[in-house]
Amino acid sequence: MPSPKTEPIQLSKRPTRSDALRNYEKLVAAGREAFTEADRSASLEDIARRAGVGIGTLYRHFPTRADLVQAIYVDEVEALSRSADELAELEPWEALTAWLGRFVGYIATKQALADELFAAADADAERRAIFAGCRSMLHAAGEPLLRRAQDAGIVRPDVTIEEVVRLVAGIAKIPADDPADVQRVLAVALDGLRYHAE
């Protein structure tokens, strides 16, 4: 039986006016595309051009590069968190492992953004709070999936979502030329989560 849906935490600062929201979303999408290419040093002017807006519009929404990076990062965290509800219809083990697989993909593509944000957060209490909120949001999304698998007797009862997320995040950061290598290590680690009766 699917777990009850929880009200998602909102960390993004999306505008409410429809025209401003459209521009905001175009800029986030253009930034996501630019920052996930091989060269993550795209200029803000290039991102504004990709989004089809003027540089003034970009600066109105994102006064600094770190503000844009933060918006992209938060948008990705919110999407990953929402996906937990979509997967709740699957069997408990499949739902949990599918979400953790998405989590690995998210970490792999967002590591450069996270590194840039961590650097900015060192001197900024608000950004540190955003990171803490993102972590809480991910834990709140994954917790019902883990608990459902534990209640079904499939996953060992002595692990927490914090431990599982830390494990999977570490695996996602393994340097590998072939993504299949990371998926194999993930599969081995997830097999260790299974409950084995004594």
Q: How far apart are CA 21 and CA 167, in angstroms?
A: 36
Q: How far apart are CA 159 and CA 153, in angstroms?
A: 13
- Blockwise average pLDDT, block size 10, the chain, 198 residues: 45 75 93 72 89 95 89 90 93 96 82 68 75 90 97 95 93 84 90 78
Measuring CA to CA, which residue among 51, 49, 47, 87 is closest to residue 64?
47
Number of neighbours of residue 89 by Cβ within 10 angstroms: 9
pLDDT at 56: 95
pLDDT at 120: 66
Query: Domains of the chain (ranges plus CATH)?
Result: 13-63 (1.10.10.60), 72-191 (1.10.357.10)
pLDDT at 79: 92
Given CA atoms 34, 36, 38, 41 in this order, what sign does their dihedral have?
positive
Alpha helices in 36-178 (DSSP H): 44-51, 55-61, 65-87, 92-121, 125-151, 161-172
Q: How far apart are CA 161 and CA 8, in angstroms?
A: 17
pLDDT at 29: 92
Distance separating the N- and C-terminal Cα atoms of the chain: 27
Q: How far apart are CA 190 and CA 96, in angstroms?
A: 10
Does the predicted model carry a pTM greater than 0.75? yes
